[in-house]
Amino acid sequence: MSPDTPLAPDAAALPAADESPGTPPAATVTIEDAGAPSVLDDESPRTPQSPAEIFRVFTRLALQGFGGVLPIVQHELVERERWLTREQFLELLAVSQVLPGPNVVNLSLMFGDRAFGWRGGLAALGGMLLAPLGVVLALTVAYAHCAQQPVVAGVLRGMGAVAAGLIMGTGIKLLPALRKNVLGPVLAFTFAALMFACIALLRIPLAWMLGGLGAVACTLAWRRLAP
């Protein structure tokens, strides 16, 4: 795991708004007749041939994803396999950020589903999760065998401190994105600080916070978005 996941704050800033709302994102199979020029229009996108191929490609890209799978997904699907144009990729990403669940997992699922229905979705999901799961469990079991050794425990504590720092750093890097939030910088930073105080310091359950503070924030945003 890593602080790779693009988080919701970026969603509103994605250049998705310039696409006409009425056009559903073209499925990979219909891009040729969509007629719209794309960044890669000189190289027409290809389509995956079978769920098995999707499984293979997603396994390959998941195993490369040290400290962040999303950049690899973009590279493999858009640049290497050319299964998606850059626009289609952003489109999928924006949708996967709105929905609950890990973004990369949502994105894989939607990609596979568009190509081959639920079999494709399952193939993408399985490719993304199964092989890395094997690796991570092997590491866990190996750790369990030598956890009593002071050096091993020390190494893990050091790695844990870095893991915490990486996530903290990701949060800090996201802060400037709040300045562009429709709520305005003061309100947006206040909400972020309140959330930190209630969750990290007071340990209030997340459901209460989303139901309370979340509802207030979304209502305010709704009002400010008035046409």
Partner 1 sequence: MTPAVVAAPAGSDWGGVFAQFLLLSLLSIGGAISTVPEMHRYLVDQHHWLSNDQFSAMVAIAQAAPGPNLLFVAVLGWGIGGAVGMLVTMIGILLPSTTLTLAAARWGETRRHTRGVQAFVTGLAPLTVGLVLSSGFLLGKPAYGNPWLLATMAATVALCVRWKISPLWLIAAGGLVGGLVT
* Tokens describing residue 12: 């509103």
Q: How many residues bind partner 1 (CB under 8 A)?
A: 119
Q: Could you give the CA distance from residue 56 to residue 64 in angstroms, rounded to a whole number?
A: 13
Cα gap 62→84, rounded to integer Å: 17
Give buried/exposed letters for 32-61 (b at 16+ CB in 10 A, else e): eeeeeebebeeeebebbeebebbbebbbeb
Least CB distance from residue 194 to partner 1, whole Å? 7
Instruction: State the minimum distance, in angstroms, from the CB of residue 35 to partner 1.
Output: 18
Beta carbon nearer to partner 1, 42 or 150: 150
Candidates 75, 49, 221, 59; CA nearest to 124 is 59
Could you say which of 12, 38, 40, 82 contacts partner 1 (CB under 8 A)? 12
Q: Which residue type occupies 180?
A: K
Should residue 71 be labelled a site residue for partner 1 when binding is judged by CB under 8 A? no
Q: Do residues 72 and 2 lie in contact, with contact meaning Cβ atoms separated by under 8 Å? A: no
Least distance in angstroms from the C-beta of 43 to partner 1: 25
Q: Smaller CB distance to partner 1: residue 52 or 133?
A: 133
Shortest distance, CB of residue 14 to partner 1, whole angstroms?
10
In this structure, the dihedral spanned by the alpha carbons of residues 123, 128, 131 and 132, taken in order and rounded to 10 degrees, is -160
C-alpha 37/C-alpha 28 separation (Å) is 14
Question: Site map for partner 1, 23-42, x if CB under 8 A?
Answer: xxx-----------------
Per CB under 8 A, the list member of 9, 45, 120, 126 interacting with partner 1 is 9
Residues 106-165 that bind partner 1 (CB under 8 A): 106, 109-110, 113-114, 118, 121, 125, 128-129, 131-133, 135-137, 139-140, 143-144, 147, 151-165
Q: Does 173 bind partner 1 (CB under 8 A)?
A: yes
- Cβ proximity to partner 1: between 42 and 200 the closer is 200
Return the residues of window 89-108 that contact partner 1 according to CB under 8 A: 91, 94-106
Q: Which of 48, 51, 65, 126 binds partner 1 (CB under 8 A)?
A: 65
- Burial class of residue 154 (count of CB atoms within 10 Å of its CB; 0-12, 13-18, 19+): exposed
Let me know: does 16 contact 91? Beta carbons within 8 Å: yes
- What's the min distance (Å) between Cβ of 50 and partner 1? 20
Task: Answer yes or no whether residue 52 interacts with partner 1 by CB under 8 A.
Answer: no
